[in-house]
Structure 1
């Protein structure tokens, strides 16, 4: 009997993987590389052919450059979350990024290598060209906390290689920030209103709000916060009716710096809430019109008694 001697057909691969591999091959050739996929489909090895463009538009000489291993696990996961019409751009960006960062001494797709280099960077939402091409979470509607490795943002297809959810990766980065960076404190005055300026060595000052109580006393009603740049926090305690004057001083200062955000926020119960405060010019005079959120309005009413 020869039931077990017959050659078995290899398992059929999902059509999505086949289509994505076709795009990878096409883009690799356009960049001047030959390619060889791993048997499990988790990576592709690119070898320079000498007839493709380099970043500055010149042509790579034959044999110039070493082989490049590009992992595809994260790319496949990201492709599964996006429409097929997005795939050509997704693959093109992934391979171009892999070529551009081939000189890095670490493999971002290897979590053991990337873990100690993970950090955060806080940016204004409007300043991030495409939130789908970065990894992060909103601090509020205006600000986003990006996951970084070294000095650059992590891409979704890179974090997709890791054996843990994005939220946990961000928690690892936050822990790194806490352990590796300390804020410098300085008391300053804004037109007679005392505030505390806290400065970080990395562009992740707002990340430190989570443990602000380690730096200064935080009242039960929280603090006012402005973020003139990613490295700086200005805070004022919400501990008396003088907070109304502080909102004005902080808002004017934030508007003048024209940095990360021109708004005033309320940090309370682990949330960063926008306090709407508009600077209005009328009849040659400038005044501040404050429309606080309901919860903060109740705090102000209680402090006014």
Structure 2
């Protein structure tokens, strides 16, 4: 897996901040960063904080956890406007949309006059968080954490020789809906059958108790692979969710690292959450200490993703990856 050291990050940004003036208001006191979590502290948040600490950027944090509740975000926006921090850091698409709003959002409802750096956002263009990845066009920038859906699809074809795929996603989240739309398009072009389901209750919210029945319905379609698009709802449930999938004979491919490392997903094309956070920390440093405006800081992802394969799960399911893949994949639980 690619290492994302401070030296490498500084190399990425060489020449960008040379000669920049440290904001006068930061002299003699720590920068104030208001950090908004969507589902509690993650490795992304830890990577961001560690990067800034190692870079010698003195920061005072105010932290709020929305607990995956969209209604909580309005109160957090109001608090940010009262506190006037130097910068707002936001984890996940739903939280970023609730805090910064879409590109044409009402400034009265969102934070638009304070720099915002988001992290772990799957598709900021489709979510309308920015106008353009290279030039965000607003007071917000950040780091993407997912390989494109089309690339994940190709990886699943190579790994499972899939002719039929099942997808369980969170229809309450922006990224999940967009990912399923993209997957339908690439699957149709490739002639792959797709069965799609979601553990959504009648109130429009996902429910833990609906995961089992949803998996059972998908297993009945006899897919070659179960795909789990990125969602904050699934990650805390990584172990029990993927254990249920294995019990049903479903090899699972995930877009998120924790589903494989902490759960029983068989494989995934993923970015390191910790390194995503480090990259977000670098962008925060560019803005706070380097004097860059977010409009000048492109939205980026890590330059490489890792193919993770859990051989323990592979052996249990008796579904084995091609030998050629083992030459470049990262093998976990190999014994």
Q: What's the TM-score once normalised by structure 1's chain length?
A: 0.22
The structure with the largest strand share of the pair is 1
Highest RCO, 1 vs 2 (Cα 8 Å, sep ≥ 6): 2
Question: Larger radius of gyration, structure 1 or 2?
Answer: 1
